[in-house]
């Protein structure tokens, strides 16, 4: 997990006036496990990213980006922006995107590009 995700979580929790311990409880994870994930000692997974994004009310694509899971598109902000717009408007597409995030690289990037091409984005 990268430091950008940890900062993203800390800043959002702080803005809402809750501790990381309380955030962990609210999203259904033991605080010590949550601490281990944020410190990089345990693996971050799709379900936790989804729970955090949903709790903070941010598009999941933003949380995936902050977690470094879209780094392959770092130089292509258009892809991230357009995909973010599409999944924010369409629940089915958001669920598909979540499923794609379970796929290992490089197949994940290729599937995202194929979906964007199919959407005409």
Question: What are 7-62's pLDDT values in tens digits?
Answer: 999 999 999 999 999 999 999 999 999 999 999 899 888 899 999 999 999 888 88
**Angle at CA of residue 7, ends 54 and 67, nearest 5°:** 60
Mean pLDDT in residue range 78-93: 71
**The pLDDT of residue 81 is above 80:** no
Mean confidence (pLDDT) of the chain: 83
**The pLDDT of residue 76 is above 80:** no
CA-based torsion, 22, 42, 5, 62: positive or negative? negative
């Amino acid at each position: 997990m990268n430091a950008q995700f940890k900062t993203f979580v800390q800043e959002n929790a702080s803005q809402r006036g809750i501790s990381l311990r309380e955030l962990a409880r609210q999203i259904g994870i033991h605080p010590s496990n949550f601490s281990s994930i944020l410190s990089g000692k345990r693996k971050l997974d799709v379900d936790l990213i989804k729970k955090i994004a949903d709790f903070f009310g941010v598009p999941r694509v933003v949380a995936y980006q902050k977690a470094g899971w879209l780094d392959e598109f770092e130089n292509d902000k258009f892809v991230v922006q357009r995909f973010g717009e599409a999944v924010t408007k369409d629940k089915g597409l958001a669920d598909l995107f979540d499923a794609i995030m379970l796929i290992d690289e490089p197949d994940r990037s290729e599937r995202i590009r194929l979906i964007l091409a199919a959407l005409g984005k």
